Structure 1
Amino acid sequence: MASKGNAALEAMIEEATVDTDGYEDERTGLFTMIEEYLAVLFTSTVLGVEVTVRKIDLTADGIVAVCFRGRHRQRIGLLDLPLPTPAPDGAAWIDAYRHWAGR
């Protein structure tokens, strides 16, 4: 999936953050949309190692992907998570989050 243009990303951010008050609320709004629309159980490669993303979580540091490899688990910030090609359904919400975080 090609990355959406800035206008489309801004519209998504507006949808996710309507009726929010401040940074934390906005981030929570974006997390809610990612959690709802991102198709989890997809693979990614982190530092040359294939991992399975099983869920998305909201922490004090930001939105993270909970990645598994065997019995090991690691949280990777969505801002740093490489997306596979093709990207999973709903990955446009990750693009929107990245756009929002870069403002």
Structure 2
Amino acid sequence: MSTRSAAELDGLIEEATVDTYDEIEAVNGFLAVVDEHLAVPFATTVLGVEVTVVKIYLTNDSRMVARCVREGFQQDIGLAELPLPEPPPDGAHWIEAYRRWFRLLTK
């Protein structure tokens, strides 16, 4: 559930993507602000199982993913699909902004 208004998220999108010229540069802009502001690691639940998100990174095809670990196993989940815990970790508003940008991009 988003805790920010569409206007607030649009402002964050503008901040993350300022001076970018294409989608790849924009994703890198989001990665920079997520790296700076998101409190990692954090616990969340994926398919009913608690996992720990240990890092956010870009794949070779420029997708933002969360590396989730549990008991020695790991799985990458697209940041747009990652369930966030309640309460969300500090800096999660950047994930909200990324999700809004991603949805607008893929419409």
Query: Normalized against structure 1, the TM-score is what?
Result: 0.95
Residue 75 of structure 1: aligned partner: 76
**Structure 2: any 5+ residue segments left out of the alignment?**
none
Alignment-derived partner of residue 40 in structure 2: 40
CA contact (8 A) 2:27 2:62 kept: no
Aligned with 1:39: secondary structure?
Answer: coil
Q: How many Å separate the matches in 2 of 1:27 and 1:57? A: 10
RMSD: 1.3
Query: Scaled by the length of structure 2, what TM-score is found?
Result: 0.91
Identity of aligned residues (%): 51
- The 5 A counterparts of 1:52-91 are 52-59=52-59, 60=61, 62-91=63-92
Structure 1: which 4+ aligned runs deviate by more than 3 Å? none
Which gives a bigger RCO, structure 1 or 2 (Cα 8 Å, sep 6+)? 1
Q: Unaligned 5+ residue runs, structure 1?
A: none
Amino acid at match of 2:55: K
Hey, what's the Cα distance between the residues in 1 that align with 2:17 and 2:62?
18
Aligned residues: 103
